Amino acid sequence: MEGLTMSKEIKRIIYVVIFCEFLICLGMSLIFPVMPFIKNEYHFSAFDMGMMSSLFALVQFVASPIVGRISDKIGRKPLLVWGLLIFALAEFVFAAAQHLWLFDLSRAVDGLSAAVYVPTSMALAADLTTNRQRAKVIGWLSAAFSGGLILGPGLGGILANFSYKTPFWVAGVLGLISTIVAWIMLPSDNDERFQSQTKDVDQAMMNSTWSTVKKLLTPMMVTLFAMILVSAFGLAGFESIYSLYVNEVHHFSLGAIALVLTLNGIISLILQVFFFEQLVAWLGEVKLIASCFFLSAVGTVIVIYDHSHWQLMVATLIVFEAFDMLRPAITTLLTKMSKSNQGLLNGINMSLTSVGNIIGPLISGALLDMNYLYPYWIVIIFLTAAFLISLRMRSVTIKN
C-alpha cells in the first residue's frame, strides 16, 4: 500500500496550492460577464474585447517555457508567491483602467501571473507526490483550475451589480491575501523533508531536451496534443463571446448571465470533485473525451438556433460541463502516457492551451463583428472535427 497515502504535511501543502490556484483562476475569469458593459461604456468593438482575452493567452504562451526553466533553478515557492502577487497587481490595474491600452496591459500581466503560477503548481504537485498519487492530485488541481474559471464569471456578474469594477477590486484584495498565505504556508525549496521526493523529478525535468520531445511524439501523443489545442480553442471561442452574444442577440440581463454561469460553476465542481473518477472508471478517458466533444457540439447548435431562454441556459450548461470534463480527462490521460518528463508534458499542455486561448477569442470577436452566428459556426466545426479525431484516437488506443 506504499505510495497510496500522503502525509498530513504534504496534504496541507497541496491544499494551499489548490486554494491559491482556484483563487487566481477565479479572478482571471471575472471579466466575462462584464464584457458587454465595458464594451458599451468605452465604445470598444468585439475585436477589442477579443484582443484583451488573447493578450492574456499570448503572454502566458511566451512566458510559460521561460518560467519552467527559472523554477528549476530558483525553486517553486518564489515563483508561486510572485505569480499571486502579479495577479493581484493586474486586477488592481484593470479596476482602475479608463483606456483600452490599460485594459490590455492588465490582461497581459494577468497572463504573466498564470504563466508563473499554474505550471509551477503542477510541477510542485509532481515533486511532492508519487506516481500513484499524482493522477488524483492533478485531478484536484484541474478541478480548481476549471472551477475557478467557471465560477469567476458568475461571481463577477453578482459583484457587478454594485459596479462593473467591483469584481476586480475584490479579486485584487483576494490576490494579496493568497500571496501572504502562500508565502507563510508553503515550504522552502531547501526544506530537507522534500529533497528526496523532488530529486528524481527535478533531474527528469532538467534532462528534458528536444530529443525527448521527439521521442514523445508518438501517434497517440500527437493526437492527444491536437485534442488539447482544439478543446482550448473551442472553450475560449465559446466562452469569450458568450455574454456578448446572449446579451445582444437574446437580450439576457446581467442577472440572467450571472445565474447561468453560477449554476454552471456549481455543477462543474460537483462533477469534477465527486463524479470524475467514476466517469473515467466507467467510460475510460478516451471515450469520455469523445462524448464531451459530441455533447459540446450539440449544445452549441442549440445555443444558436433555440430562442427559449431556459432551453438556452440548459444548452449552455451542457456545453460548459462537457468542456469542464475535457480538461481533467485529457490531463489524466496525458500523465499516463509517460512515467517520466511530467514537467515537459505539462509545459506542452499549457503551451497548446495558450495557443487555443489566443486564437479563439480573436477569431470569435472578429466574426461577431460581422455576424452573430459566425463565431459559433466555427466552434461547431472545430468541435465536430475534434469528435472525429477522438474516435481516431480511440481506435489507436484499441490497437495498442
Report domain extents, the chain.
8-399
- In one-letter notation, the amino acid at residue 224 is L
Alpha-carbon distance of 189 to 199, in angstroms, equals 11
Query: Is the distance from CB of 361 to CB of 223 less than 8 angstroms?
Result: no
Contacts of 176 (CB under 8 A, 6+ apart): 85, 88
Q: Is the dihedral of CA 142, 147, 350, 357 positive or negative?
A: positive
Q: Are the C-beta atoms of 139 and 328 separated by less than 8 Å?
A: yes
Q: What is the pLDDT along the chain (400 residues), one digit of tens a residue?
A: 344 466 777 888 888 888 888 887 787 777 777 777 788 888 888 778 778 777 877 887 778 767 766 776 777 788 899 999 999 999 999 888 888 899 899 989 988 888 888 778 877 776 777 766 666 776 677 778 767 776 777 788 788 888 878 888 988 988 898 899 889 888 776 654 444 444 444 444 444 445 555 565 666 777 777 777 777 777 777 877 777 788 877 788 777 877 887 787 778 778 877 787 778 778 888 888 889 999 999 999 988 887 777 888 888 889 888 887 887 787 777 766 665 555 556 666 666 777 776 777 778 777 877 887 888 888 888 888 888 888 877 655 545 5
End-to-end CA distance of the chain: 29
Question: 353-392, pLDDT tens digit by residue?
Answer: 777 767 777 787 778 778 878 888 888 888 888 888 888 7
d(CA 288, CA 290): 5
Name the CATH topology of 8-399.
Growth Hormone; Chain: A; (1.20.1250)
Q: Is the pTM of this model over 0.85?
A: no
d(CA 56, CA 108) in angstroms, rounded, equals: 5
